[in-house]
Structure 1
């Protein structure tokens, strides 16, 4: 048989100089993982980040406006605290205001209590938005920004937090689960094997206040948090009010750590510290859900961010203000590793921060495979030691590894894969095809997990190659994990928002984040549950009317219009 004629150069990819299938696959893989050299316009660090300067102080007129904004927000926080006496997430038993003349009136007037609380919520959100003009900064004719000072922002934040510290819990009843699970641990039982109803009894004072969905559910939190909760239970016993107060103090410790670490991380990334604090620490989501809602994310995020800052001191050999710590690099890295591992023993996702610290350290050591492996082993050993000490030192062992999926029992519309599954299931019902939501979720959730893992790996490699700062890469990865997680609660968004606040400065990040934070803060009910529709409608109409009147009344004393102008005289930095 005649042999086949040889291929022409145009038909032969090798002869034509085109790569074969193997090189093409390798090239696509490199592009997917970000190991190629893409256009600078497509680089995530260019899209989201731009350097900022601290800027000048506010001029006298702006300082006066700042003082009024501070009082406006504080008024809202006080209204929230008052309204929460009737509209908050009050305990079923041991309600301290029930039957008390005057204070107990709010519980018997749900529409009025909800109106007062919602009005306060809107005032705090509006005050935060107004404050943002002075935190993001206005520019003088020479292009230099004018921002409020750090001390001005700290005092504003403190004034807004204080009323929420003494208020009843709001927006969530999770703190009652904390109390019940801590009591289980204090009794020597395993909170990872048995829920409040089984361990304490259905009629126990702490079980009665736990939402029904969680009464038979084991604890989904890490052993460090339950260990602390066990000590709180030993201190407060079955006193619900005292237990809430101590847990809130624990949350405030976490908030203080966030306020300490966030501006330092921002300066490392070339971001103005006050703009990072405004978007991260003064965010209404933090005020409402970590302080008022008493969520343990406060302690988790505080420990994680503090650990990242300490570890980066060892990686880069200095602090954001330029002080050298090269001789103590190992100690700083060890301390940061310990704090990050400890934060993971509150909630596991924060352990991700250790990966980005490790990649930054591996890059400083040359960036090769050997540097990555040795760094991973070193940090891994440190993390395992901390996790082991906490797990066995608390007496709870590794039971927490069996309850990591507990939260997925809830279907949250804020989760992208869950929303797709629920929407598809609803479409099937409307078309008469039956409810296949569970089946669709079994597809969308694994796909979302793969996508989140891919984004995380890409950010790790981008950190290793120096294309993105580790703080920014951590924020992007946490954002992907949160949005693609099977269940998303409003306060979960803070995992990404606070981290990205220290790095991302572009409008493409800040504008959606500001809008979403504002909307989510306003639409959630303060009792951690649901109201009858007519009560919500009445309260919403009254809130709109009251807030509208307040805006009209303050139109000449608050910068609602936000016109840009040059200062009449050189700006002053005197604190308000």
Structure 2
């Protein structure tokens, strides 16, 4: 199981070096240069990457089953480490965002505010590697990743090392999630091994979070840690960590709702809820202001938040909504947050985390520029709350399928490849499930794969 996933991860690494977009003039081995120049290299590399992801999916399904039956958290950790390790040295895969992070950090190191200048102001191969859409746009990220990127740029000017440095930040976020999961699991009664297998080793997390090295992973790690610290220590400490998470990406402010709900006493009245929400909000804002002052970059990223939402992506559900009502639909996550703030029972971890997961999922889905990595936001929360049987099955299946679709989001002609690849993967997946009883039993297992509530352990009905 662990070995099969490791082989899959190695194949993603090998195919990724051919498939990935690299800076012009990057010093590569002659054999790799020749391979990348071959007209046939791209489809072959894509096939290698897809085969590797399929092996990862198969290994992950086995890991989920083993984590439930045996409950061996150490096995899950070993598998996650083995599968992540090859991806750490891969170039940015399935997205060009890693080059944008590197360029924005280099801008800050050069004394140019990434909130006032786009990567094109930097010039050179690194800036040229950034997606053309973002060449002249300000950075829509908080000061924290820019401070980190500037520190990296003072150490090295090598584009690849800069990008790999940001992958280490993503892995650090995953480590924070790994630290927080057992603590949140104790609140909801979730078994630690299945929750860790779902969160740390899923194909979506590996392909999009680690291989794609998105800032979202660091944001999720800090926010999840904030929830755990808020409950175990004090809500102020938890809110400060949520503020740091928002200093990576703005959507993390929604997690402040979770800190408030989890730290209020049961039966808290409306006024007590309001005071706690305001208190959490003030701590988050104070943390963001402090980061702006510490970095010297101020709050210039606030106006830049409009940048990622410029235009609708092909996958955005908003395409199905008439233009006249889209603004109304887009505020639904905020409406859901307001309803959750005053209607979710206080001091109930299961309901609080479930409500927060719904808010984060709505926020990711209804953002105009829907990206696969936005769907990572609620994953740690959904991994530790009890779900109905159909919900568990859907959750697991989506984590596998969306991980398989990651390569189609960045390769040239990705839209065409996606139109062909999605049906092919769906048919192939159905054929494998129908033809492999053992795999079918593991993926569609009727027992609790994701979370086991305290009530179930005590023999009480859910």
More relative contact order, 1 or 2 (CA 8 Å, 6+ apart): 1
The structure carrying a bigger helix percent of its residues is: 2
Deviation at 1:491, TM superposition (A): 1.0
Equivalent position of 2:81 in the other structure: 158
TM-score normalised to structure 2 length? 0.86
Describe the superposition over 1:16-66 as per-residue Cα deviations: whole angstroms up to 9, x where unpaired.
Answer: xxxxxxxxxxxxxxxxxxxxxxxxxxxxxxxxxxxxxxxxxxxxxxxxxxx
**Distance in structure 2 (CA, Å) of the matches to 1:533 and 1:349:** 27
TM-score, normalised relative to structure 1: 0.70
**Which residue number corresponds to residue 571 of structure 1?**
none
2:296 pairs with 1:395: yes
- Residues 463 and 469 of structure 1 are in contact (CA less than 8 Å); yes or no, is this contact kept in structure 2? yes
Equivalent in the alignment of 2:368:
486
Query: Structure 2 residue aligned with 1:218, among 138, 147, 156?
Result: 138
CA contact (8 A) 2:408 2:414 kept: no
Which residue of structure 2 aligns with residue 420 of structure 1?
Answer: 320
Match of 2:199 among 252, 274, 280: 280
Distance 2:204 2:387 in 1: 19
The residue that corresponds to 2:310 in the other structure is 409
Kindly indicate whether the alpha-carbon contact (under 8 Å) linking 1:304 and 1:339 is maintained by their aligned counterparts in 2. Answer: yes
Are the equivalent residues in 2 in contact too, given 1:271–1:505 (CA < 8 A)?
no
Q: Which runs of 5+ in 1 are unaligned?
A: 1-68, 138-145, 315-331, 422-439, 565-576
Match of 1:503 among 381, 385, 390: 385
Q: 1:533 to 1:378 in 2, by over 3 A?
A: closer
| Match of residue 90 from structure 1 | 21
Instruction: Give 1:346 deviation, angstroms.
Output: 0.3
Q: CA deviation at 1:194?
A: 2.0
User: What is the aligned counterpart of 2:238 among 317, 321, 336?
Assistant: 336
SS in 1 for 2:439: coil
Alignment of 1:510-521 (within 5 A): 510-521=392-403
Q: What SS is found at the alignment partner of 1:404?
A: helix
Give how far 1:159 is off. 0.9
Retained in 2: the 8 A contact 1:303–1:342?
A: yes
Please say which structure displays the higher CA radius of gyration.
1
Answering whether residue 286 of structure 2 is matched by residue 385 of structure 1, we say yes
Q: State the secondary structure of the residue aligned to 1:280.
A: helix
Equivalent-residue separation in structure 1 for 2:334 and 2:415 (angstroms):
40
Q: 1:449 maps to which residue? A: 330
Q: Distance in 2 between matches of 1:507 and 1:258?
A: 25
Secondary structure class of the residue paired with 2:343: helix
Per-residue CA shift, 1:409-468, capped at 9, x if unaligned? 142233322x214xxxxxxxxxxxxxxxxxx43x24212123222222222223345565
CA RMSD of aligned residues (A): 3.2
Alpha-carbon offset, residue 393 of structure 1: 1.0
**CA 1:118–1:359 in 2, change beyond 3 Å: closer, same or farther?**
closer
- The answer for unaligned runs of 5 or more in structure 2 is 446-462
Cα distance between partner residues in 2 of 1:497 and 1:234: 35
Deviation of 1:532 after TM superposition, in Å, equals 8.0
Q: CA deviation at 1:539?
A: 9.6
In the aligned structure 2, how far is the partner of 1:236 from the partner of 1:287? Answer: 26
Match for residue 452 of structure 2? none
- Please point out which of 360, 363, 377 is paired with 2:265: 363
Q: Does residue 1:129 correspond to 2:52, yes or no?
A: no
Which of 118, 122, 145 aligns to 1:200? It is 122
| CA distance in structure 1 between the partners assigned to 2:62 and 2:104 by the alignment | 41
Q: CA deviation at 1:377?
A: 4.0
Counterpart Cα distance in 1 of 2:60 and 2:368: 30
Q: 1:353 maps to which residue? A: 255
Q: Which one of the candidate residues 183, 198, 201 is aligned to 2:106?
A: 183
Relative to structure 1, the CA distance from residue 129 to residue 413 in structure 2 (aligned partners, 3 Å threshold; closer, same or farther) is farther
